[in-house]
């Protein structure tokens, strides 16, 4: 439905739509990647095609560890946008010194704790309007 | 720079309104013009409209011109819309202030308007996700409640802030709202009711959250000369500050209970106004969630870092305390029609400093402050005075 497409909640991840396509391609293969500025070597999260420190637009892709720990989290019970069900565990995950925002899947909400080890668990979401598969970088208890 | 003052203000009824986007514009405009009978729409040289998502809720862009026509304003000096998520209204007031201070306009209306409950409750919450990063946050279903929940958890862990103290913010603001006929909620709330309300995002319960609200508000902003010609009791804009820590959650201070941008925005505003935190009599702070009001006490300098829970529990932010915070009922009691909120905050301070706040009047209020934020990482502070300096 054209109306649904107007409220597509997911990013367009294919090469013709974003400079960050490589992130999603690696994610589909089970890897968590980000960008490092080719000029000042700053490691970014999330990945970016322009360096806010030195204004360079040259960057390299680097794989991050797929394992991290929970820095902060909250469990939302109700009031989620339609299409997203509660309870939903939102978490800030520390990986390789970076803070990554995500959700925790396959977790028992009552058992989630700060410092808990988690690992990448790519989440397949609705295909894009052209039928390409789409993934988000979710996590699960390690 | 020239001195700038508010000379009039008006607010529509806030709530889940059976009214169109344009109806709300008419209501706030009418209330504001009624408050300053000497000013007719044709006298207004500029219009700034704070509005966040009419593209989604009214399928309408080109907002300032649409509102100007609705109100009969023919802008000759300034016409603009400010979209800055929850702080859009106050950002609009800053534009009007700057234009007038610079001598580019003498009389500008700032109107904030939002029709959020459209077409359905589900869609309203979906739309709220436009305020966070689509690719890296909203795609997971993130909206505001979990963000502020992270701050609340950290405040509890670090300073021993209790659920009761968070709840007291809800009780205070819902009680204030019961004296405000324009508020979304007017039934008040007890501590038991707040603590017993359903969990939204741990540890924030329903009555620790602002609701999804429709509403509009307008103020008239004038140069010194025009202000003195229009009223004996203008309310002066004494200071303003705005600061950004970051947009995405992962760009903010690692400790989500620390909001350095708010402290910077406040220092800029205090410095410009020549006032100290202890001079503030009445403050409208952005209590989108109870934790936001607590952290605001600290970053605005009303109390030390970590002491906000005790501050509200001791009644120091209520009538008879150090500073009356959210006399109109705040975002929790009045509701939070995004673009309208900052303008409605200014309208409350305007009424308080003129002694026109009726049952909500704060004794001898001379200095007022408003704080409006867009997420936890961006803050805008205004300081108003009964005296120009
Ligand atoms: C908290 C929230 C999720 C509740 O939404 P909901 O569960 O869909 O609630 P409903 O709209 O179904 O309302 C159910 C009842 O609760 C009441 N209610 C809704 N929100 C309320 C609130 N924040 N405080 C008190 N009561 C509230 C309604 O009036 C209604 O009462 P009724 O049954 O007597 O008519 C929603 O209000 C919300 O998302 N608030 C946050 C808004 C926001 O993020 N703003 C930006 C801040 S930066
Ligand atoms: Zn760089």
Q: Rounded to whole angstroms, how far apart are CA atoms B171 and B186?
A: 12
Q: Rounded to whole angstroms, how far apart are CA atoms B127 and B118?
A: 10
Clarify whether B379 is annotated catalytic: no
Distance from CA of A84 to the nearest CA of B (A): 6
Considering the domain boundaries, does residue A87 fall inside one? Answer: yes
Residue A100 belongs to domain spanning: 21-141
The tally of domains found in chain A comes to 1
Contact (Cβ atoms closer than 8 angstroms) between residue B24 and residue B115: yes
Residue contact B129–A90, C-beta within 8 A? no
Does A131 contact B at CB distance below 8 Å?
no
ipTM of the shown complex: 0.96
Clarify whether B336 is annotated catalytic: yes
**CB < 8 Å to A135, chain B:** none
Pocket test for ligand 1, best of B200, B212, B259, B287 (most atoms within 8 A of CB): B212
Considering the domain boundaries, does residue A28 fall inside one? Answer: yes
Mean pLDDT of B108-134: 93
Q: Rounded to whole angstroms, how far apart are CA atoms B171 and B376?
A: 23
Residue-level pLDDT at A6? 62
Decide if pLDDT at B174 tops 60. Answer: yes
Q: Find the catalytic residue in B32, B86, B147, B334.
A: B86
Distance from CA of B74 to the nearest CA of A (A): 34
Taking CA–CA distances from A78, the nearest residue in chain B reads: B200
Mean pLDDT of B337-341: 98
Q: Ligand 2 centroid vs A46 CA: distance in angstroms?
A: 14
Decide if pLDDT at B89 tops 80. Answer: yes
* Domains defined for chain B, CATH in brackets: 4-120+213-235 (3.40.47.10), 141-207+237-385 (3.40.47.10)
Mind listing the pLDDT tens digit for each residue in B1-30? 999 999 999 999 999 999 999 999 999 999
The alpha carbon of residue B251 and the mean position of all alpha carbons in its chain are separated, in whole angstroms, by: 24
Residue-level pLDDT at A2? 45
Q: Rounded to whole angstroms, how far apart are CA atoms A128 and B167?
A: 43
Considering the domain boundaries, does residue A12 fall inside one? Answer: no
Using CB atoms within 10 Å of the CB of residue B203, give its burial: 0 to 12 exposed, 13 to 18 middle, 19+ buried.
Answer: buried
Beta-carbon contacts of B344 under 8 Å, excluding residues fewer than 6 positions away, are B11, B14, B89, B112, B215, B217, B328, B334
Q: What is the mean pLDDT of chain B?
A: 97
Considering the domain boundaries, does residue A3 fall inside one? Answer: no
* pLDDT interval class at B122 (50, 70, 90): confident
Block means of pLDDT (10 residues each) for chain A, 142 residues, are 65 96 98 98 98 98 97 95 93 97 96 96 95 97 96
Does A99 contact B at CB distance below 8 Å?
yes
Decide if pLDDT at B308 tops 90. Answer: yes
Nearest residue (by CA) to ligand 1, atom 44, is B144
Considering the domain boundaries, does residue A50 fall inside one? Answer: yes
The rounded percent of chain B whose pLDDT value lies above 90 is: 98
**CB < 8 Å to B145, chain A:** 76, 79
Q: Which of A46, A76, A136 sits opposite B201 (nearest CB)?
A: A76
Give the closest residue to A73 by CA, choosing from A119, A109, A121, A123. Answer: A109
Give the closest residue to A3 by CA, choosing from B121, B16, B59, B53. Answer: B59
Q: Rounded to whole angstroms, how far apart are CA atoms A135 and B353?
A: 54
Name every residue in B having a CB less than 8 A away from some CB of A: 122-123, 125-126, 128-129, 134-143, 145-146, 149-150, 153-154, 198-202, 209, 248-250, 254, 256
Q: What is the DSSP string of B211-244?
A: ---BEEEEEEEEEHHHHHHH-S--EEEEEEEEEE
**CB < 8 Å to A78, chain B:** 198-200
Decide if pLDDT at B96 tops 90. Answer: yes
Bridge partner residues of B261 (DSSP)? none
**CB < 8 Å to B149, chain A:** 74, 76
Taking CA–CA distances from A9, the nearest residue in chain B reads: B139
Q: Could you say which ligand is closest to the alpha carbon of residue A54?
A: 2
Contact (Cβ atoms closer than 8 angstroms) between residue A92 and residue A70: yes
Q: Ligand 2 centroid vs A36 CA: distance in angstroms?
A: 8
Mind listing the pLDDT tens digit for each residue in B247-290? 999 999 999 999 999 999 999 999 999 999 999 999 999 999 99
Residue-level pLDDT at B223? 98
Mean pLDDT of B35-53: 98
Distance from CA of B386 to the nearest CA of A (A): 41
Contact (Cβ atoms closer than 8 angstroms) between residue B51 and residue B63: yes
The rounded percent of chain B whose pLDDT value lies above 70 is: 100
Mind listing the pLDDT tens digit for each residue in B210-240? 999 999 999 999 999 999 999 999 999 999 9
Contact (Cβ atoms closer than 8 angstroms) between residue B369 and residue B277: no
Q: Find the catalytic residue in B184, B258, B286, B336.
A: B336
Give the tokens for residue A1: 């439905």
């Amino acid at each position: 439905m054209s109306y649904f497409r107007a409220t597509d909640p997911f990013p367009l991840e294919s090469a013709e739509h974003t400079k960050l396509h490589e992130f999603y391609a690696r994610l589909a293969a089970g890897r968590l990647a980000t960008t490092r500025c080719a000029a000042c070597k700053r490691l970014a999260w999330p990945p970016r095609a322009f360096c806010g420190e030195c204004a360079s637009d040259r960057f390299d892709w680097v794989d991050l560890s797929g394992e991290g720990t929970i820095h902060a989290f909250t469990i939302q019970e109700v009031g989620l946008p339609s299409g997203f069900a509660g309870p939903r565990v939102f978490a800030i995950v520390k990986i390789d010194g970076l803070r990554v925002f995500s959700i925790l899947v396959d977790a028992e909400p009552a058992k989630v704790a700060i410092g808990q080890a988690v690992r990448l668990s790519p989440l397949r979401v609705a295909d894009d309007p052209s039928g390409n598969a789409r993934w988000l970088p979710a996590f699960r208890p390690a | 720079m020239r001195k700038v003052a508010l000379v009039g203000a008006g607010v529509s009824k806030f709530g889940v309104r059976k009214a169109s986007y344009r109806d709300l514009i008419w209501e706030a405009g009418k209330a504001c013009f009624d408050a300053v009978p000497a000013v007719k729409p044709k006298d207004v040289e500029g219009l700034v409209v704070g509005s966040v998502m009419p593209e989604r809720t009214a399928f309408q862009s080109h907002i300032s011109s649409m509102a100007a026509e609705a109100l009969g304003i023919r802008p000759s000096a300034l016409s603009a819309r400010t979209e800055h998520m929850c702080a859009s209204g106050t950002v609009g007031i800053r534009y009007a202030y700057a234009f007038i201070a610079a001598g580019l306009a003498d009389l500008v209306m700032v109107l904030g308007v939002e029709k959020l409950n459209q077409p359905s409750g589900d869609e309203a919450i979906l739309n709220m996700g436009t305020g966070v990063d689509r690719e890296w946050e909203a795609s997971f279903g993130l909206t505001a409640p979990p963000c502020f929940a992270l701050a609340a958890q950290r405040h509890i862990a670090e300073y021993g802030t209790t659920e009761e103290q968070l709840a007291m913010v809800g009780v205070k603001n819902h009680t204030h709202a019961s004296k405000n006929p324009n508020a979304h909620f007017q039934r008040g709330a007890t501590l038991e009711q707040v603590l017993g309300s359903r969990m939204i995002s741990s540890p924030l319960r329903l009555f620790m959250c602002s609701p999804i609200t429709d509403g509009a508000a307008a103020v008239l902003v004038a140069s010194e000369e025009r202000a003195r010609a229009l009223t004996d009791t203008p309310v002066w804009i004494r200071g303003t500050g705005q600061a950004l820590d970051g947009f995405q959650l992962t760009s903010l201070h690692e400790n989500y209970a620390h909001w350095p941008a708010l402290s910077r925005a406040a220092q800029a505003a205090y410095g410009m106004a020549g006032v100290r935190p202890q001079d503030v009599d009445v403050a409208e702070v952005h209590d989108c969630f109870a934790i936001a009001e607590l952290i605001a006490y600290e970053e605005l300098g009303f109390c030390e870092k970590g002491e906000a829970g005790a501050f509200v529990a001791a009644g120091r932010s209520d009538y008879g305390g150090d500073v009356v915070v959210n006399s109109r009922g705040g975002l929790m009691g009045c509701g939070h029609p995004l673009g309208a909120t900052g303008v409605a905050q200014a309208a409350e301070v305007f009424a308080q400093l003129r002694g026109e706040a009726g049952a909500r009047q704060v004794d001898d209020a001379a200095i007022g402050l408003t704080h409006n934020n867009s997420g936890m990482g961006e803050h805008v502070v205004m300081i108003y005075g009964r005296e120009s300096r």
